[in-house]
Amino acid sequence: MSPASSVPKSEVIERHPLREQVRRVVLRRILQGELAGGTNLKEAQLAEDLGVSRTPVREALMQLEQEAFLVSDPGRGFFVAPLTSQEVRDLFPLIGLLEGTALRWAGPPPAEAMAQLDTINAELGSVDKDPENALSLNGHWHRLLVAHCDNQRLRDLIEQLRRQAYRYEYNYFMPGVARIGTAVELHRAITDPLHHDDVEAACRAIDEHWVTDLDLMLPQVEDD
């Protein structure tokens, strides 16, 4: 089991709401891989490090458990959920299905959004030596792809699942150039038919995108 978590004093929380501030600090560290799967999050230690009481810490950890970033064990506390091949198999096809549903719901993005998608993808292709920036651009691209869908609940669900997939994508992009280039090509396969208002072809490309990501991701995930 990994050692208990520790948050630098520089991240002491001073603003309300405390529960959400604690959640953001812990979530950021999980997503960036600083808190590995299996890490035991000690409520008392987190509260001391962040300069808050244990109540908002516990509330934040309970919320993160509901979002599937943590698991709890009675008597032992909260642990960072491990990366598993089963979660990849569950998440990635589902995200593809929901992105396609959002695109069908809304129809082709307007011309301005299409231009932005192309611009972001071109920028993504130029950051091969900055994988963290690539992750940010990749997330921006996918959010913009479905941003014109007026079903807020659907967009929120996609975003929630994408947050859970982020830890896997972080590991995926870290090797660098080849992985980023693959993402650029997969994005282009989606936008090319959209430039001709062919939503169905774009949705098939979305499915192919996430299936390809699934196949590339699985070898990097080592189940316990």
69/81 Cα distance (integer angstroms): 5
Mean pLDDT of 121-150: 90
Q: Residues of CATH 1.20.120.530 domain(s) within the chain?
A: 85-220
The domain 9-80 is placed in CATH, from the list 3.40.50.20, 3.30.420.40, 1.10.540.10, 1.10.10.10, at 1.10.10.10
When pLDDT is cut at 50, 70 and 90, the band that residue 176 belongs to is: low
Residue 20 has pLDDT above 50, yes or no: yes
pLDDT 10s digits, 61-74: 999 998 888 999 88
**SS3 for 33?**
coil
- CA distances 88 to 52, 84, 178, Å, are 35, 7, 21
Q: Residues of CATH 1.10.10.10 domain(s) within the chain?
A: 9-80
Q: Is 141 left (phi over 0), alpha (psi -120 to 50) or beta?
A: alpha
Residue 164 has pLDDT above 90, yes or no: no
Q: Residue 129 burial (CB < 10 Å; 0-12/13-18/19+)?
A: exposed
Percent of the chain residues topping a pLDDT of 70: 88
pLDDT of residue 180: 86
Residue 9 has pLDDT above 60, yes or no: no
Residue 172 has pLDDT above 80, yes or no: no
CATH number attached to the domain at 85-220? 1.20.120.530
pLDDT of residue 224: 46
Compute the C-alpha angle 147/150/154, nearest 5°: 80
